[in-house]
Amino acid sequence: MSMTRYVAGRLAQIVLLAFLASLLIFMFSRALPGDPATLYAGPDATAETVAAVRSSFGLDDPIFVQYWRWLTEALQGNFGQSYNSRLPVSELVVGALPATLQLAAAGLLLALIIGLPTGVISALKPGSKADYAITTYNGLALSIPGFWLAILLIILFALVLGLLPAGGRVSFLDDPAGALRAIALPAVVLAFRLSAVLSRFTRTVVLEALNDDHVLTATAKGLSRRAVLTRHVFRNAVVPLITIIAVEVAELLNGAVILEALFGWPGMGWLSVDAVQTRDYLLLQAMLLVFVLVTLSLNLLADVTHARLDPRVRTRRGAVR
């Protein structure tokens, strides 16, 4: 099967899944108890007022009419308005996206810088002091809850030392130094856990590659250690690594909900929590759709890269491990 056919097939799959997801997402939002009109009108509103507000939100129409209206308008790029702020949903989502992208990128970068080298070192020197230290670090990083670490760091660096801000996001364009200081703590907390995941995975993958038959053959042929590593071990290790990175990135892009809340970081995670709490159906639906599409797309990207790098996948004979 050629690459193009493979990708085309997968894209068609995504479109179909997105449609199905949109239906489920719509139903799910409406199934939540409580409604936005009651919330918007406030606890002292009369029943008449709440009914009038509900009607102005278009929530009186039959459910399928509402779904159809939403779907058709969404396909034209109009995702409706937030019930609370009356701002266009697309504007809100697009507004939150850069913050999440920025945080995801910073966290990922930091995690890669720490995780990949430590994983490799750990794999190349199993049982050594370095390996032991790295494994301990990984264990800690995976077991320490992110929110606990976040609070600790805020207390230390913002309150006690006064070096970094306690929260909020600063735009890089406005104030680069301030932006770096604002992103430092949340990126570190994100990277902490992710670096451990990457490190462990890298270690496993490199170890397995080292023990592959073809590596043994290459060494036996007399290839230098370095050549063996770069040409054979790492190349094969990269493939599954891409997959895990793609999966983790999808998670990052969906927004680290708790961390964004703690640091007052106005990204996708924060926005989606807000949408759920205020039953902002249209905003919630758009966000869930974005999550679904991001996850599906990244998985596709991972698979395509995998297929590109590993011809065995394309020929559907599967990888031999």
Partner 1 sequence: MVQHQRRWRMRRLAAVTAVGVMAAAGCSSIDTPAGDDADDTAAEGEPQTGGTLTYLQAGDVSTFDPAMLPQVNYVMLPQLFDTLISLDAELEPQPELAESWEFSDDRSQLTLHLKEGVVFHDGTPFTAQSVAFTLEHYRDPEVGALIRPLLAAVSEVEVVDDTTVVLHFSEEPVSVFDALDLMFIIPEGDRDRIATEPIGTGPFELESRQPGVGLTLVRNEDYWKDGQPYLDQIEVVAARDQQAAIVQLESDAGDILLRPQYSDLARLEDQDGISTRVLDISPNMLSLHVNVASPELVDANVRKAISLAINRERIAETVLAGTVEPACLPWSEGSPAYNEKQVREGCAYDPAEAERLLADAGYDGSAELSIVVQSGVEPAYAAAAEIIAEDLRQIGVTVAIEPAEEAEAARRLDQRDYDLYSKGYGRANRDPVTAIRSTAAWRPDDGVTNYASPEYTDLVNRAAAETDPQARQQIFEQLNQLILDESFMLTITSLPTTFAFADHVGGLTTNLEGMPLLDEAWISE
By CB neighbour count within 10 A (0-12 exposed, 13-18 middle, 19+ buried), where does 3 fall? exposed
| SS3 (DSSP) at 88 | strand
C-beta neighbour count of 14 within 10 angstroms:
17
DSSP per residue over 145-209, as a string?
Answer: -HHHHHHHHIIIIIIIS--S-SS----TTT-HHHHHHHHHHHHHHHHHHHHHHHHHHHHHHHHHH
Quick check: 79 binds partner 1 (CB under 8 A)?
no
| SS3 (DSSP) at 2 | coil
Quick check: 279 binds partner 1 (CB under 8 A)?
yes
Quick check: 101 binds partner 1 (CB under 8 A)?
no
In the shown chain, the binding pattern of residues 42 to 61 toward partner 1, with x for contact by CB under 8 A and - for none, equals xxxxxxxxx-xx-xx-----
Kindly indicate which of the ranges 66-74, 161-169, 240-248, 313-321 contains the residues binding partner 1, using the contact rule CB under 8 A.
Answer: 161-169
Quick check: 78 binds partner 1 (CB under 8 A)?
no
CA nearest to 283, candidates 57, 121, 110: 57
Quick check: 85 binds partner 1 (CB under 8 A)?
yes
Q: Pick from 180, 261, 293, 300 the residue near partner 1 by CB under 8 A.
A: 261
Q: Pick from 187, 194, 271, 289 the residue near partner 1 by CB under 8 A.
A: 271
Q: Pick from 95, 117, 139, 145 the residue near partner 1 by CB under 8 A.
A: 95
Kindly indicate which of the ranges 30-38, 111-119, 124-132, 206-214 contains the residues binding partner 1, using the contact rule CB under 8 A.
Answer: 30-38
Contacting residues for 295 by C-beta, under 8 A, at least 6 apart: 250, 254
By CB neighbour count within 10 A (0-12 exposed, 13-18 middle, 19+ buried), where does 115 fall? buried
CA distance 205 to 241: 8
Q: Are 241 and 310 in contact (CB under 8 A)?
A: no
HSE, CB side, 13 Å, CA atoms: give it for residue 59. 19
Q: Pick from 262, 284, 286, 307 the residue near partner 1 by CB under 8 A.
A: 262
Report which DSSP code applies to 178: H
Total residues contacting partner 1 (rule CB under 8 A)? Answer: 54
Query: Least distance in Å: CB of 259 to partner 1?
Result: 11
Quick check: 176 binds partner 1 (CB under 8 A)?
no
Kindly indicate which of the ranges 65-73, 155-163, 240-248, 249-257 contains the residues binding partner 1, using the contact rule CB under 8 A.
Answer: 155-163
- Here the tokens at position 225 are 């250690």
Place of tokens 């991001």: 294
For 119, the enclosing helix (H) or strand (E) is: helix 89-124
Per CB under 8 A, contacts with partner 1 among 181-200 are: 181-182
Quick check: 38 binds partner 1 (CB under 8 A)?
yes
- Here the tokens at position 5 are 């056919």
Query: Least distance in Å: CB of 296 to partner 1?
Result: 26
Contacting residues for 272 by C-beta, under 8 A, at least 6 apart: 255, 257, 284, 287, 288, 291
Kindly indicate which of the ranges 66-74, 166-174, 195-203, 225-233 contains the residues binding partner 1, using the contact rule CB under 8 A.
Answer: 166-174
C-beta neighbour count of 189 within 10 angstroms:
26
Query: Least distance in Å: CB of 280 to partner 1?
Result: 10
Query: Least distance in Å: CB of 21 to partner 1?
Result: 23
Q: Pick from 62, 75, 76, 159 the residue near partner 1 by CB under 8 A.
A: 159
Quick check: 268 binds partner 1 (CB under 8 A)?
no
What does the binding site for partner 1 look like in residue numbers (CB under 8 A)? 32-36, 38-50, 52-53, 55-56, 84-87, 92, 95-96, 154, 158-159, 162-163, 165-170, 175, 178, 181-182, 261-262, 264, 266, 270-271, 274, 277-279
